[in-house]
Amino acid sequence: MPVLYCTIPYFATALLQRDNAELAGHPLILVDPEDRVFGLSAQAAARGVVPGMAARTAQIRCPEARLLDADVARCRAKFETLIQVLEEASPRVEAHGWGAAYVELDAVRGQSEAVALCRDVGRKVRQHLGEALQPALGWNSTKFTAQAAARRVSPGHLRAVERAREKDFLRPLPVTLLPLAGDTLQRLSFLGLRTLGQYGALSPAAVWQQFGHAGILARRCARGEDDRPIVPHGRSLALAADLELPAPLVEREPLLLALRRLVAPLLAGLRENLRAAGQARLAVQFDDGTRQEQTRTFLFPLAEEDRVVRVLAGLLEAMRWPAAATRLSVALEQIQDVVAEQLTLFPLEDERQAKLREVQRYLAARFGSNCLRRAVMAQPGAPLPEWRVGWLDEAEP
């Protein structure tokens, strides 16, 4: 299955700079309605800013950046234009985050024909979106390797990786290219696994024990064995679940608990398969026989339980409640591949603490929960120094 991966780096800011020449070359941070980073420029990324970060934190990391409100609707419209251009080359196009997509090139025969088609796609993207939005292109027979190839070339260029050279190409690349959760990537770092070659060399049993089914899929990606199909844009799968409440409810906390129980298995399945949802739909049946429905499209695909439950809580609060709720229905839509998390370069104190807790969990799992002790000032005023300090067993967090 020949695959083209097309990505326009820093899509949202590149679009803004195309329309406003005065912003070209300046570090930019685009803020979404929830006061989080929606888009950023290369300069801001170099200072440790990542999408989804709180705007205040981003400003601390890159104080010289200009913070602007993101025009999400315009970005969405231009991204649809990109998808339409790619669909001229093949009807099987799968979106992958903002400004990026997979294209299945089944009709081509041989690498030379595929490369020629890829270059033609690049020209058409520039014609429709402008020279400022130069795509980086990667080509291979698998989705992950095509994506990795595109992310290893500068905009306006194509990297074609032949099947025979795929493993040699992947072996030295950083493990952070894998679509694993941030805490899993940190664990790989703690274990000294820095490259795809190192991760791919692990035994399947060891990977399963440490990282589960998602880790096994990631190992296949690292070894050039990714067999995930391309799901055409607009035909993505949806997951749904519903729950009849044992008694009518109006209290917020019991309703949120019920929603969490409802979506937790769906989200766990997505995470295990390196997938995420682009949209959530919530329907509530009320005791008076009426029904209301609310939908929320995520700015970035989600599979994290806490974040999805917060979104569902917002949908609940947006409804007008004529009576108590008797039935809840949730649908997770626009299912797509997870976009690899971008780890920050300069962790703040809370992130350092999170890393320490992860090390603590790893040591506790390997050596037992009583392997760590924490020094405390038990009696600061004691006359002898050895009486002042004590040790506490550090329980597993």
- Which helix (DSSP H) or strand (DSSP E) does residue 23 occupy? none
Whole-number pLDDT of residue 363: 76
pTM of the model: 0.79
> In this predicted model, what pLDDT tens digit does every residue of 318-362 receive, in sequence order?
999 899 999 999 999 999 998 876 544 334 334 455 556 666 766
Q: Are residues 24 and 109 in the same domain?
A: yes
Q: Which of 106, 99, 93 is nearest to 236 (CA)?
A: 93
pLDDT exceeds 50 at position 199: yes
Whole-number pLDDT of residue 345: 36
Q: Is residue 206 part of a domain?
A: yes
Q: Which of 133, 114, 108, 129 is nearest to 8 (CA)?
A: 133
Return the percentage of the chain with pLDDT > 90, whole number: 59
pLDDT exceeds 60 at position 129: yes
Q: Are residues 37 and 136 in the same domain?
A: yes
Q: Is residue 249 part of a domain?
A: yes
Q: Is residue 373 part of a domain?
A: yes
Q: Is residue 91 part of a domain?
A: yes
Mean pLDDT of 203-211: 93
Domain of 181 in residue numbering reads as: 171-222
> In this predicted model, what pLDDT tens digit does every residue of 49-93 receive, in sequence order?
999 899 999 999 999 999 999 999 999 999 999 999 999 888 999
Q: How many domains does the chain have?
A: 4
Residue entry with tokens 């199909």: 229
Q: Are residues 263 and 192 in the same domain?
A: no
Q: What is the DSSP letter of 250?
A: -
Please give the C-alpha separations between residue 254 and each of 294, 313, 333, in angstroms, as whole numbers.
Answer: 19, 11, 25
Q: Are residues 325 and 357 in the same domain?
A: no
pLDDT higher at 385 or 155: 155
